[in-house]
């Protein structure tokens, strides 16, 4: 029934997405694009993860840089860019400087991150490069400031300091700063150069990659924004050392998501290594970030503007956004809401008979291990869920499409073709009224 209401381009959603990454390999992978995708997808896709030294042409004799970053490439034709991942990368100025366009840089950060990393980043941008001048704008910290008023402060600074088209905006912070700075870069003078330096696990595994930028509206999250890709993403894993535990766990919710929607091997790895991740074991974190970026890079390369496949990255997010909106932004962290939302999406998938008991149990177990919520807060009612879900961006022709698990671990669908009863039963099971 519902399938006939969906536009034809969404039909592939009725079949589990199965394109997966093979085990980490230094060689580039050539993947067959999904046969059901739009014509944009019919080009060879190259996702590569390298751990070879990045050679700096400005160094004499092409000497390798001191530490060796892992590089994951996001393949988007002439908008392709590298994601550098590693420890101590902020101490390698060449990595950043090669992506700066022009002589003027505006670092956008907040009151929490500025005292920790602004000086280091300014140094990385300017050392040995006296022609570059760095301005900074320090925004208030918090999801509740991800709005038009705060965005204006970025434009105010850029205009007051007379930045021109050949300037570079640098986002230094978590997802809130990355989304706002990216949107400002997309809009300022109709687009200036942009670099992401994500400092939360959430931003390192998800929000800094893929070019979704924007701000919230009082009536809904991320409703105003643009697709705008950065020149590079620089992930210095050392920045996680100062991140509060609760924020770390929030990022883990998105890591779990990649395993569930498309990478069962990664999910099994997480089941074995969750304690190491929570203990901030550097190599476990580096692996989780790399695999997450590879998964996200592949999805984004296949479906940059979210015509189907990219929507699968929103597993648990429709329920999760309803929680964030229903209880007020900032009460629960994004990843916490996504974790509870994932449990609800998995419950619904199970009610539909699309997954077996063990997958449901494993999802509960891994989220509990990560100390993430596995149910919405008590103040969420069925009505509250329905009200917010009715204005979700994934509603098309009055039909709410959801990302649900279907089949073996690592397979999901994005579909409006499900029995409405299952959705009602899930909402009733998780809400007191």
Ligand X SMILES: NC(=O)c1ccc[n+]([C@@H]2O[C@H](COP(=O)([O-])OP(=O)(O)OC[C@H]3O[C@@H](n4cnc5c(N)ncnc54)[C@H](O)[C@@H]3O)[C@@H](O)[C@H]2O)c1
CA distance 57 to 208: 26
CA distance 60 to 84: 22
Judged by CB under 6 A, the residue of 41, 104, 157, 212 near ligand X is 212
315-354 residues in contact with ligand X (CB under 6 A) are 334
Min dist. Cβ of residue 225 to ligand X (A)? 8
Tell me if 290 contacts ligand X by CB under 6 A: no
Tell me if 177 contacts ligand X by CB under 6 A: yes
93-112 residues in contact with ligand X (CB under 6 A) are 110, 112
Is the separation of the CB atoms in 237 and 87 below 8 Å? yes
Tell me if 174 contacts ligand X by CB under 6 A: yes
**Residue 126's CB: how many other CB atoms inside 10 A?**
18
Question: Does 321 qualify as catalytic in the annotation?
Answer: yes
Rg (C-alpha) for the chain, rounded Å, is 21
Is the separation of the CB atoms in 232 and 81 below 8 Å? yes
The DSSP letter of residue 59 is S
Tell me if 310 contacts ligand X by CB under 6 A: no
Question: Does 351 qualify as catalytic in the annotation?
Answer: no
Judged by CB under 6 A, the residue of 73, 143, 236, 263 near ligand X is 143
Question: Does 310 qualify as catalytic in the annotation?
Answer: yes
Judged by CB under 6 A, the residue of 202, 293, 311, 389 near ligand X is 202
Q: Which residue is nearest to ligand X (CB)?
A: 175
Task: Using alpha carbons, list the distances in angstroms from residue 338 to 139, 145, 151, 310, 375.
Answer: 25, 20, 25, 16, 10
DSSP string, 125-137: HHTT-TT-EEEEE
With respect to ligand X, which residue has the nearer C-beta, 232 or 431? 232
CA distance 91 to 96: 10
16-55 residues in contact with ligand X (CB under 6 A) are none
User: Which of 41, 99, 317, 351 is labelled catalytic?
Assistant: 317
Is the separation of the CB atoms in 340 and 373 below 8 Å? yes
User: Which of 314, 384, 401, 406 is labelled catalytic?
Assistant: 314
Question: Does 384 qualify as catalytic in the annotation?
Answer: no
Tell me if 247 contacts ligand X by CB under 6 A: yes
**Residue 76's CB: how many other CB atoms inside 10 A?**
15
Question: Does 296 qualify as catalytic in the annotation?
Answer: yes
Is the separation of the CB atoms in 134 and 122 below 8 Å? yes
Binding site for ligand X (CB under 6 A): 110, 112-113, 116, 141, 143, 146, 173-177, 179, 199-200, 202-203, 206-207, 210, 212, 222, 239, 242-243, 247, 250, 334
Catalytic residues: 190, 212, 254, 296, 306, 310, 314, 317, 321, 334
């Amino acid at each position: 029934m519902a399938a006939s209401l969906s536009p034809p381009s969404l039909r592939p959603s009725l079949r589990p997405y199965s394109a997966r990454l093979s085990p980490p390999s230094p060689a580039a992978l050539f993947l067959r694009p999904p046969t059901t995708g739009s014509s944009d997808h019919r080009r060879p896709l190259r996702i590569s993860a390298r751990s070879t030294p990045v050679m700096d042409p400005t160094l004499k004799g092409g000497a390798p840089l001191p530490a060796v970053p892992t590089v994951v490439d996001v393949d988007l034709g002439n908008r392709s860019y590298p994601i550098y991942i590693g420890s101590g990368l902020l101490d390698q100025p060449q990595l950043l400087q090669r992506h700066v366009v022009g002589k003027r840089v505006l670092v956008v950060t907040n009151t929490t991150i500025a005292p920790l990393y602004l000086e280091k980043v300014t140094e990385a941008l300017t050392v040995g490069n006296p022609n570059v001048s760095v301005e900074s704008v320090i925004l208030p910290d918090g999801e509740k400031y991800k709005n038009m008023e705060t965005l204006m402060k970025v434009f105010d600074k850029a205009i007051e300091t007379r930045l021109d088209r050949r300037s570079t905006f640098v986002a230094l912070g978590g997802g809130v700063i990355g989304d706002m700075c990216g949107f400002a870069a997309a809009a300022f003078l109709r687009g200036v150069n942009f670099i992401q330096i994500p400092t939360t696990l959430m931003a390192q595994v998800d929000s800094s990659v893929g070019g979704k930028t924007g701000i919230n509206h009082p009536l809904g999250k991320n409703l105003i924004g643009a697709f705008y890709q950065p020149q590079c993403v620089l992930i210095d894993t050392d920045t996680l050392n100062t991140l509060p535990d609760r924020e770390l766990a929030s990022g883990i919710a998105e890591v779990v998501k990649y395993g569930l929607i498309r990478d069962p091997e990664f999910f099994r790895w997480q089941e074995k290594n969750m304690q190491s991740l929570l203990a901030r074991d550097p190599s476990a974190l580096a692996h989780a970030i790399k695999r997450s970026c590879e998964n996200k890079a592949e999805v984004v390369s296949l479906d940059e503007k979210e015509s189907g496949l990219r929507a699968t990255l929103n597993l648990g997010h429709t329920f999760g956004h309803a929680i964030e909106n229903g209880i007020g932004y900032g009460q629960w962290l994004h990843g916490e809401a996504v974790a509870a939302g994932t449990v609800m999406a998995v419950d619904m998938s199970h009610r539909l008979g699309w997954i077996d008991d063990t997958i449901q149990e494993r999802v509960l177990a891994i989220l509990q291990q990560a100390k993430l919520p596995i149910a919405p807060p008590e103040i969420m009612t069925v009505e509250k869920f329905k009200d917010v879900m009715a204005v979700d961006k994934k509603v098309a022709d009055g039909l709410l499409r959801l990302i649900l698990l279907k089949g073996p671990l690592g397979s999901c669908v994005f579909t409006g073709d499900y029995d409405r009863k299952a959705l009602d039963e899930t909402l009733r099971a998780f809400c007191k009224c």
